[in-house]
Amino acid sequence: MLKSTHKAVAPPPLPEGWTEHKAPTGHSYYYNATTKQSTYTRPVASPAPIAPPPAAPLNPSQSFLQYQAVGSPIPSAGPGFNSFPQQQPFQGRGFQGQRGGRDDHDGPRNPRPQPTDKPKSRHPIPGCEPWVLVHTKLGRRFVYNTAKNQSFWRIPDKLKDGILQLDQQRIKEKAEALQREKEPAASGGIPGAAEKPATETREEQQNGGDAEDSSEYEEVEVTDDEEEENPPKRQRTDEDAPDEPIEFNEDDIAFQLAAMGQEYGLDPGEYDDGNMEGWEEGAQGLELTEEDAVALFKDLLDDFRINPYSPWEKLVEEGKLVDDTRYTALTTMKARREAWDEWSREKIKQLRELKTKEEKKDPKIPYLAFLQKHATPKLYWPEFKRKYRKESEMRDSAMADKDREKLYREHINRLKLPQSSLKADLLTLLKAQPLSTLNNTTIASHLPPAVLTDIRYISLDPAVRDQLIESHIATLPPPPASAAEEESEEAAKERMEKQRRQKALEDRERHVAEEKRRQKRNLELGKGRLREEEAEIARAMNVTKKGLKGHLMGEESAEKDS
Amino acid sequence: MPAIRHASKRKAPPAGFSDIEDDLLIFSNKMKDAENASTTNVPRHKVHWPIFQISHQRSRYVYELYYEKEAISKELYDWLLKNGYADAMLIAKWKKTGYEKLCCLRCVQTKETNFNSTCICRVPKAQMKEDQAIECVSCGCRGCASSD
């Protein structure tokens, strides 16, 4: 595995006196300072001043010697840690684990070119001072005692704890570095968000792997973890590839889906995220009713600021709406057209209402402002008209050309008057304004239209005029509480009305009460009379013997009298 | 020779014209393009089709603005008719039942045809013998019966 991926053979060292340089083109060339020679071809140490064989295994005898060393567990890398010639001892040694014993015999006979390994980095092992842990270019490692110049592939038991500590520290650092890398990326959007969980899981796996490694340090020196350590070797081999989808597991996919959904503003129901129970309410259960569809289409029209006066064909031809998803809320062109008709009718109605509410702007105001800016006594009206015929103020159809001419001539005539009279005119104009429109709360830039449409307003130079107006405004009293007055008037009216109603009510009540009293009196009177009559009858009925006798006697006496 | 009426001396159009001015301008530009388009290699009877179609569209636009959307005032509508923005005769037909979608006046002019009949585009789709795609000779209409 290691052999297949690693090709780089360290170039043989330069002979003494030669130095390597980079040409501006990127080629490297070699220069000998003593002989003043320069060449593109790498000078080989043919004179062999220090005589390190450039490719060690090519020499059978040497490789034999090398394999002699295989038997001993000593990598012997230590002394010349940074110097090239010391690379040979690694060679066979590193591959021993994979090749097994067979190479012990094959090696000398048909020596295969082996990639040279060399130390890449060294870390002091905490707790065991003279010892350092050396990582090689091929991702293997051994321990080296700097004091005794000893190195071992097999890590002694007493160093295990220190190395474990070192490994943990390194992993932590790496995780932090990754995190720091991810932080800016995460704000970037989905890719960062998706990657993060994946890398984290991978990291966890590494940790697990390391823990396993630590238990069997003696057996396996080359671990997966160490492969990771070696970035140039990171080309993925076939064994690694199937791991990838497992690392990016379902949770991650769900997470990414959710992130995308959020980004596009979708409900979870609109994409299938696997767990139906988890959907929020209304994700898919809500049916889009017809009214909703029409309303959606109308919203779309609103959002695109479509002119409600435009013909439908124009809308279709422009094709602005087609890209929006709301366009598909209505499925047929006929339905869309109907929705459009309805919408435009409503919209036009709204616009008309708005327009009626909006106060009508006098076309004279912009025209007079324009005159003040451009009119000069040097130009006659036809010249002036011709010169500015393209200005919007001159083309405004709301104002007749005759009026324009009249105003222009008047303005030009007034420009010839002395300043003092102009000022006096302006003051009289200002004084003529009612207090309700012009008072000390009026802002100089928002004068009443009556002032703005007057020719006397533009006769003076703006700087002079504005000062004059401001000083005049400052002298004015505050606005009369006209609005409040009006309101109170209204209220008074209301109150009076109310009082009148109240009074009327009272009147009626009084009237009714009087009526009642009269009735009562009548009743009483009737009762009294009735009682009287009753009494009379009772008296009449109450005829005693004596009474009757007396009566009869009375009658007799009356007869006698007659 | 009649007096030249200068644009600036003309009476301003009624209020509300500014709302529809742009769309009318688009129509008039289209019409100009159609008028100036080359007629070489165009069959004789097809030469006037685009003119009829644009005229129909513009009349329909004005008609809908006034009668269906009630977006323009009576004055403006009259002004538009007077100034040739819409075909008053065609609009008059649209108000009659059975003629709601009439494409052009030539298509209902029975005296101009050999058999004293209206144009093929006036025949409802339901009554056509087979599903044939028709384009009427006078204006290229594909069918303007009210029931379509």
Residues B77 and B147 in one domain: no
**Highest-pLDDT range among A9-18, A460-469, A477-486:** A460-469
pLDDT on residue A76: 47
- Residue whose C-alpha is closest to residue A133's, from A146, A115, A118: A146
Residues B78 and B127 in one domain: no
Cβ under 8 Å to B: A residues 314-333: 314
Residues 6 or more apart whose CB falls under 8 angstroms from that of A53 comprise A59, A62
CA–CA distance, A332 with A339 (Å, rounded to integer): 11
Whether residue A217 is predicted with pLDDT greater than 60 in this model: the reply is no
Q: Which residue, among B18, B61, B63, would best test binding to A if mutated, counting the most A CBs under 10 Å from its CB?
A: B61
Domain that holds residue B60: 16-35+44-95
The Cβ of residue B52 has, within 10 Å, a number of other Cβ atoms equal to 20
CA–CA distance, A467 with A482 (Å, rounded to integer): 28
Whether residue A47 is predicted with pLDDT greater than 60 in this model: the reply is no
- Per DSSP (E only), the strands in B49-144 are none
Q: Is residue A554 assigned to a domain?
A: no
Compute φ and ψ for B50, nearest 5 degrees: -60, -35
Going by DSSP bridges, is the β-strand pair A131-136/A141-145 parallel, antiparallel, or unpaired?
antiparallel
A76-110: pLDDT as tens digits: 444 444 444 444 444 444 444 444 444 444 444 45
* Chain B residue whose CA is closest to A340: B69
pLDDT on residue B75: 94
Edge-first strand order for the sheet with A28-32 is A18-22, A28-32, A37-39
Residue numbers in A near B22 (CB within 8 A): 307
Compute φ and ψ for A141, nearest 5 degrees: -150, 155
Residue numbers in A near B13 (CB within 8 A): 397
Q: How many domains does chain A have?
A: 3
Residue ranges in chain B assigned as alpha helix (H)? 17-36, 49-63, 74-82, 88-94
Residue numbers in B near A341 (CB within 8 A): 68-69
Q: Look at chain B and count its residues.
A: 148
Cβ–Cβ under 8 Å, residues A381 and A388: no
Q: Is residue A421 assigned to a domain?
A: no
Residues B21 and B55 in one domain: yes
CA–CA distance, B18 with A515 (Å, rounded to integer): 71
Residue A216, both tokens: 């069997």
Question: DSSP 3-state assignment of A150?
Answer: strand
Residue B105, both tokens: 């006046």
Q: How many domains does chain B have?
A: 2
Helix axis angle for A190-215 and A250-264, nearest 10°, is 160
Residues of B near A (CB-CB distance < 8 A)?
A: 8-9, 12-13, 19-20, 22-23, 26, 57, 60-61, 64-65, 68-71
Q: Which residue, among A309, A360, A367, A408, would best test binding to B if mutated, counting the most B CBs under 10 Å from its CB?
A: A309
Cβ–Cβ under 8 Å, residues A220 and A96: no
Domain that holds residue A511: 490-544
When CB atoms are compared, the residue of A345, A395, A397 closest to B69 is A345
Q: Of A179, A196, A220, at which residue does a domain stop?
A: A179
The Cβ of residue A238 has, within 10 Å, a number of other Cβ atoms equal to 6
Residues B20 and B89 in one domain: yes
Q: Which residue, among A337, A397, A402, would best test binding to B if mutated, counting the most B CBs under 10 Å from its CB?
A: A397
Q: Is residue A102 assigned to a domain?
A: no
A291-335: pLDDT as tens digits: 888 888 888 888 888 888 888 888 888 888 888 878 887 888 888
- Find the distance separating the first CA and the last CA of chain B, reported in whole Å: 50
* Chain A residue whose CA is closest to B23: A310
When CB atoms are compared, the residue of A313, A397, A401 closest to B57 is A313
Residues B103 and B68 in one domain: no
Q: Is residue A66 assigned to a domain?
A: no
| Mean pLDDT computed over A57-73 | 44
B90-122: pLDDT as tens digits: 999 999 999 999 999 999 999 988 899 999 999
Cβ–Cβ under 8 Å, residues A240 and A227: no
